[in-house]
Amino acid sequence: MKSIFKTALAALGLTLAATQAQATDIRVHYAIPTIWADTQEQLAQAFMKSNPDVTVTIDGPAESYANGVQRLLREAVAGNLPDVAYVGLNRWRILEARELTKPLDPFIDDAAAFEKAGYSPAIRSLGQYQGAQHALGTSASTMVMYVNPDLIARAGGSMADFPTTFDGIIELAAKIDALGDDVEGIWIGRHDWRFQGLLGSHGGRPLNEDESDITFDSDAGIAAATLYSRFYKEGGMPIYGQSDARQAYPAGTLGIFFESSSLLNKFTESAGDRFEVTVLPTPVVVEDDSKAYFPTGGSALVMLTDDAEKQKAVWDYMRFVTGPEGAKIIVENTGYAPTNTIVLEDDSYLGAFYEANPNARVAHRQVADHAGPWYAYPGDEGVAVTDLIGAALVEISEGADPKTTLDTLAETVRAKLGMK
C-alpha cells in the first residue's frame, strides 16, 4: 500500500518536473577567479543563449583547485553539491574515489562520433580512469621550454639551430651560466609535475597500467632524475625556489626555464620589451614518439548531480564548454591550450589568435600531440607522496646521487601507498 503511494508520488513528481523543463537550473562550481571569472561569465552567457531552457547559476569561486575540491567534499557531506564543477586535472580522482562523479560514458553513446567532434584519445585520456570517462578536460597546459634569445646569442648560440637534445641544452646552459655572476643557465622546478614531464619525455610512466606499483624507478625515471643532477652540476642550475625562477626569467637573468605553458601571458607581460619571451617544445627523448607524453595541468568538468533532468542539462553544458565554441572563449581569455582538436585544425576558430601569438601555437601543438594524464597517486596518501617526490628532487638537484635517492624514494612511496 505504502509503495503504491510512493510510486504515485514519484510519478506526480516526474510530471511536475516535465512541465517545468523550460526552467532547468544548473549550479556550476569553479576555482581561481583571477584567471576564470570573466571566462566563466562568458561561457555561461553563450551557453544560455543557445540553450534558453537552461539557467546557469555560478557558485562563488574557490581560490584554488585545492580549496575547490575541499569545498566540494564539504558540500558533499552537507548534501548541497553543485550540479557540475570545474576541478583540477590532477584532482578529479579525489572526487571519483568518493563516488561523487557520474560516469559520462552513457552520455557519450557513440564513441566514433564523439572522437569526430574533437575529443581525440589523448584529450579523452585526461578524464579517464580504468576505462571509464569521469571528466572532460576544459583547459590544458604542459611543460614547455622558455628561452631568452638574447642570452642564447650572447653565449654564442642561436635560435635557428637551438639544440633539440638535453645534452645540447645542458652544454648551452653552461655557456649561458658562464656569462656572469648574475646570469643563470637553466632551471626546472623540483616538483612532481615537472618530474613526470621529464619522465614522459623518456617514455616512462610513474605508475603501471593497473596502478598497483610505482614505476618511476625505471631506467626512464633514473634518466629523468639524472637530468636534475646534470642541470645542477653541468648546466649551472642555481638553488632557486619556484617563485625565484619565475622572477628571474622575465627579469632576463635566466637563460632556459622549464615551466608550465599557462604562464606564457604572465611572462610576456612582465618581460615587456626587455627581451622576446620565446617558447620551444620540451625535447622528446624516447625513440618512439608515440610513447612520449607530457602530464597535463589545467581543469576538467565533472558531473555531480543525481537528478536525471539536470544531468541532461549538465551534459549539454559540458559539451558546449569543451566544444569548439567554448574552447575558443577559454583560449582567448585564459591563454590555456584548448582540449578540442577542432580548433587546432580549423583556422576559422583561432586562426587569428595563433597568428598573433606564435608562442601559443607551439605550446598548444605540444598539448595536441603529447597530452597525457597527470598521474595522481592512488589512495589516501596520494597527495602527500607528491611532496615526498618534490623533496627527493630537491636533494638530487643539490647534488645527491639520482639513482640511490630515487630508489629510496620509490620504496618510501610504495610503503606509504600500501604497495608492498
Partner 1 sequence: MMAPISRAWREGLTDLYLVGPTVLVLAALVFVPVLIVFVLSFTDYQLGDRSVTFVGFDQYVALFTDPIGRRAITNTLIYVAVMVPSSILLALLVATRLHGMAQWSPGLSRFLRAAYFLPVAATLVAMALAWQMMLHPSIGIVNMTLVRLGLPAPAWFSDRGLVIYTLALIGIWQTIGYNMVLFLAGLAVIPRHLYDAAEVDGVSSAWSRFWTVTWPMLGPTTLFVAVITATAGFRVFETVAALTGGGPAFASDTLVYALYREGFVYFKVGYASAITVVFFVFVALLTFIQYGLLQKRVHYR
Q: Which residues are at the interface with partner 1 (CB under 8 A)?
A: 66-67, 70, 73-74, 76-77, 94, 98, 100, 181-182, 184, 190, 238-241, 243-244, 247-248, 251, 253, 380-381, 383-384, 387, 390-392, 394-395, 398
Q: Which cell goes with 234?
A: 653541468
Give the shortest CB-65-to-partner 1 separation in angstroms.
Answer: 11
Strand order in the sheet with 184-188: 184-188, 254-260, 143-147, 278-280
> Which residue's CB is nearer to partner 1, number 45 or number 247?
247
> Which residue's CB is nearer to partner 1, number 69 or number 337?
69
How far does CA 223 lie from the centroid of its chain?
23
Give the shortest CB-69-to-partner 1 separation in angstroms.
Answer: 8
Question: Which is nearest to 90 in space by CA: 159, 31, 13?
Answer: 31
Give the shortest CB-19-to-partner 1 separation in angstroms.
Answer: 35
Give the shortest CB-151-to-partner 1 separation in angstroms.
Answer: 14
Strand order in the sheet with 136-141: 54-58, 24-29, 84-88, 297-303, 136-141
Yes or no: say if 211 and 204 are a contact pair by the CB < 8 Å rule. no
- Kindly report the length of the chain: 420
Burial code (b: 16+ CB inside 10 Å, e: under 16) for 247-273 equals ebbbebbbbbbbbbbbbbbebbeebee
Torsion angle of C-alpha atoms 336, 143, 65, 245, degrees rounded to 10: -110
> Which residue's CB is nearer to partner 1, number 76 or number 419?
76
Give the shortest CB-47-to-partner 1 separation in angstroms.
Answer: 29
> Which residue's CB is nearer to partner 1, number 8 or number 384?
384
> Which residue's CB is nearer to partner 1, number 113 or number 391?
391
Give the shortest CB-75-to-partner 1 separation in angstroms.
Answer: 10
> Which residue's CB is nearer to partner 1, number 171 or number 381?
381
